[in-house]
Amino acid sequence: MAFDINVRSLSAWVYRVCVLCLTRSTRLHLGHTWIKFQQSAGGESATKAREGDFVETTDNLIFDVKGLVHPPDRIVAYLRYYPDKRGDRLRGIVRYSKVYELSKRERLLRKRWPQYLYYDETQGRELQGVPMDSIRALHTPQRRLSILMRSRKRGTLEKDAIELVNALVHGSGLPPERFGISGSLMLGLDDRKSDIDIMAYGVGTAKSVQKTLFTLLKNDKRFHRYGLSDLRVLHVRRGLQRAILFRDFVRQERRKALQGKFLGHDYFIRCVKDWPEITQRDGAALHGGLGECTVPGEVTEDKQSLLTPC
């Protein structure tokens, strides 16, 4: 299959990923969660965190982790929730606001918490990231799913999320350990409009989950594809109005099974490599912008096309 890529239209997230090879490890316990540190061949420490995890800081900010591996001194992650007396999300006695747009995240950090902005030599650009000494907790989807599956007290969204995971487990034959619950539901910051964010771990898992969902969307009345109104919201939420025409966006998104509606909730399933499958190394290649261009190309294989990051 041949194609043309307009570099300008690629998602900004592509450029905000750092990767690192993980080896020997030790653990640091922080309250009810733990952060796992890695020792690289060069002797420096690096944090074991991946896409779908969330980092909570000592000043109560919550960042979503980007990529699979990270620099020795910090986790690459982008601001998602921040304390706000007028916020509409409540956890304990602290109110939070959620921030979506990349530009707003950057503005907030630059004005109030500039220590979470840094220049990344590997990517050749400014990124957001949480320094090691600012980390209070690392929240992981697999641990949250394990806790919810054992819990007898669940809210409506929690019950529906477990029902969705069970549908995937039974349909694919995969063990529950291959899945996790991420997003606001993992953090206890969900509301009645919250999505169900599911993580699926492993290259083989991704293909199996996609195949299972195609079957469920066809035969299970609890699952539904997005309609036009849903896709309009998604087009704006992802900030793609200038990157892709809506009609092209619709044609692309309607083919997908990893997103849709389950029992009236939006669901999103992100597929991520399992730890043994990660072979990249931070700093192994340096990246820098040279300008915009359009290049011809040909897809030769798509084994990792379902993964985030691919």
Question: What's the pLDDT at 310?
Answer: 63
Question: What's the pLDDT at 33?
Answer: 40
Question: What's the pLDDT at 122?
Answer: 85
Question: What's the pLDDT at 283?
Answer: 64
What are the residues whose beta carbons fall under 8 Å from the beta carbon of 102, sequence distance 6 or more?
A: 12, 78, 239
The model's pTM = 0.82
Would you say residue 291 lies in a domain?
no
Q: Give yes or no: residues 183 and 157 share one domain.
A: yes
Q: Give yes or no: residues 145 and 125 share one domain.
A: no
What is the number of domains present in the chain?
2
Would you say residue 304 lies in a domain?
no
Q: Which domain holds residue 238?
A: 141-275
Q: Give yes or no: residues 91 and 38 share one domain.
A: yes
Domain end call among 73, 107, 139: 139
Would you say residue 281 lies in a domain?
no
Buried b (16+ CB within 10 A) or exposed e, 147-176: ebeeeeeeeebbebbbebbebbbebbebee
What are the residues whose beta carbons fall under 8 Å from the beta carbon of 89, sequence distance 6 or more?
A: 81, 95, 96, 97, 98, 184, 189, 191
Would you say residue 241 lies in a domain?
yes
Q: Which of 9, 51, 3 is nearest to 249 (CA)?
A: 9
Q: Give yes or no: residues 155 and 75 share one domain.
A: no
Q: Give yes or no: residues 100 and 170 share one domain.
A: no
Q: Give yes or no: residues 20 and 123 share one domain.
A: yes
Q: Give yes or no: residues 38 and 163 share one domain.
A: no
Q: Give yes or no: residues 65 and 84 share one domain.
A: yes
User: How confident is the model over 82-116, as pLDDT tens digits?
Assistant: 999 999 999 999 999 999 888 999 999 999 999 99
Domain end call among 109, 139, 169: 139
Question: What's the pLDDT at 291?
Answer: 85
Q: Give yes or no: residues 154 and 265 share one domain.
A: yes
Question: What's the pLDDT at 37?
Answer: 38
Domain end call among 90, 105, 139: 139
Question: What's the pLDDT at 196?
Answer: 98
Ranges of the chain with pLDDT below 50: 1-46
Q: Give yes or no: residues 135 and 148 share one domain.
A: no
Give how far the C-alpha of residue 225 lies from the chain's centroid of Cα atoms, to the nearest Å: 21
What are the residues whose beta carbons fall under 8 Å from the beta carbon of 59, sequence distance 6 or more?
A: 113, 134
Q: Give yes or no: residues 158 and 255 share one domain.
A: yes
Q: Give yes or no: residues 267 and 145 share one domain.
A: yes
